């Protein structure tokens, strides 16, 4: 039995569906089964990663766990990993390609919590694999309201250049790792197959949706104010903007790990935009 956390999210939902397609026994951890929207045949169990006592039923009989960490600190991770360790033997963790091994402290809170969770997992005694993903193509879903309402995406860092990855490809790797052998102790750096600037991403989404879309550069301070107003912690916002500024100077890397593990090339951003065209209409 494989337990998938974050099962209603971008990646976890795909992991559940691809594990089912592969014939694996899969259970989905969700906070609210009534709104989870998972297929009826899926074994859906209620549990909350911020309340480790609630995880026992979900972990009963589980061999492997796909872990998504939906918090900005690793404070709650030791108790969750204790609970996992009482039942499972293997954990596959959705981490970040931004985690650096050559520093004691990461440069931003997001990579810091990923590095902290990774370290705790390494010490847990579980067999582990880290999926260190680069930027998700699903980040573009944040533009959907602007594209629907007029086609102008206002943001900073139009020249930031990323190798965005399709959630289906992260999930496809997760399924191979969760159902196969030979990935224990691996830190897989997962990316999409090509580099696109933010300006090019907006254009590609507009073309896929059949709605002309263009990027309009705004000052960082304006975007920062908007994110703070919608509840993002300041240190996280600053970390994200620093990372984007870095991607103007130095684009994200491209790896071939998706193809090496799944046997199929990683999907392009245009394929992602076509798959999600309806979200932008």
Ligand X SMILES: NC(=O)c1ccc[n+]([C@@H]2O[C@H](COP(=O)([O-])OP(=O)(O)OC[C@H]3O[C@@H](n4cnc5c(N)ncnc54)[C@H](OP(=O)(O)O)[C@@H]3O)[C@@H](O)[C@H]2O)c1
Binding site for ligand X (CB under 6 A): 5-12, 30-32, 48-50, 68-70, 94, 96, 110, 133, 135-136, 138-139
CB of 17 to ligand X, least distance (A): 13
Residue with smallest beta-carbon separation from ligand X: 9
CA distances from 64 to 3, 91, 180 (A): 6, 6, 11
CB of 16 to ligand X, least distance (A): 10
Task: Let me know: does 98 contact 136? Beta carbons within 8 Å.
Answer: no
Identify the CA nearest to 143 among candidates 196, 72, 198: 198
Comparing CB distances to ligand X, the nearer of 124 and 151 is 124
Comparing CB distances to ligand X, the nearer of 172 and 181 is 172
Comparing CB distances to ligand X, the nearer of 170 and 199 is 170
Phi, psi (5° rounding) for residue 217?
-70, 130
Comparing CB distances to ligand X, the nearer of 40 and 181 is 40
Identify the CA nearest to 128 among candidates 92, 85, 74: 92
Task: Let me know: does 215 contact 153? Beta carbons within 8 Å.
Answer: yes
CB of 98 to ligand X, least distance (A): 7
Cα diameter, the chain: 53
Cα atoms in the 13 Å half-sphere on the side-chain side of 185: 2
Task: Let me know: does 261 contact 173? Beta carbons within 8 Å.
Answer: yes
The token duo for 9 is 């999210």
Comparing CB distances to ligand X, the nearer of 212 and 233 is 233
CB of 212 to ligand X, least distance (A): 26
Q: How many CB atoms lie within 10 A of CB 150?
A: 11
CB of 178 to ligand X, least distance (A): 15
CB of 210 to ligand X, least distance (A): 25
CA distances from 98 to 68, 94, 239 (A): 16, 12, 11
Comparing CB distances to ligand X, the nearer of 93 and 280 is 93
């Amino acid at each position: 039995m494989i337990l998938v956390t974050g099962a209603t999210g971008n990646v976890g939902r795909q992991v559940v569906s691809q594990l089912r397609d592969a014939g694996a026994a899969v259970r989905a951890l969700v906070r609210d089964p009534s709104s989870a929207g998972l297929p009826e045949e899926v074994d859906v169990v209620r549990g909350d990663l911020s309340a480790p006592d609630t995880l026992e039923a979900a972990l009963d009989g589980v061999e492997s766990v796909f872990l998504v960490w939906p918090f900005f600190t690793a404070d709650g991770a030791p108790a969750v990993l204790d609970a996992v360790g009482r039942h499972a033997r293997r954990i596959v963790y959705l981490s970040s390609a931004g985690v650096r091994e050559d520093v004691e402290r990461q440069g931003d809170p997001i990579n810091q919590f990923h590095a902290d969770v990774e370290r705790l997992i390494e010490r847990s005694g579980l067999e582990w694999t880290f999926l260190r993903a680069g930027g998700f193509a699903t980040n573009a879903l944040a533009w959907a309201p602007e594209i629907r309402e007029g086609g102008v995406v206002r943001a900073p860092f139009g020249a930031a250049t990323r190798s965005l990855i399709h959630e289906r490809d992260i999930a496809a790797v997760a399924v191979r790792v969760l159902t196969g052998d030979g990935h224990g102790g691996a830190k897989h750096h997962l990316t999409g197959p090509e580099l696109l600037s933010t300006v090019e991403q907006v254009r590609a989404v507009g073309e896929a949706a059949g709605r002309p879309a263009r990027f309009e550069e705004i000052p960082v301070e304006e975007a920062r104010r908007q994110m703070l107003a919608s509840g993002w912690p300041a240190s996280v916002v600053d970390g994200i903007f620093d990372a984007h500024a870095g991607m103007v100077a130095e684009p994200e890397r491209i790896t071939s790990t998706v193809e090496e593990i799944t046997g199929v090339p990683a999907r392009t951003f245009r394929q992602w935009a076509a798959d999600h065209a309806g979200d932008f209409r």
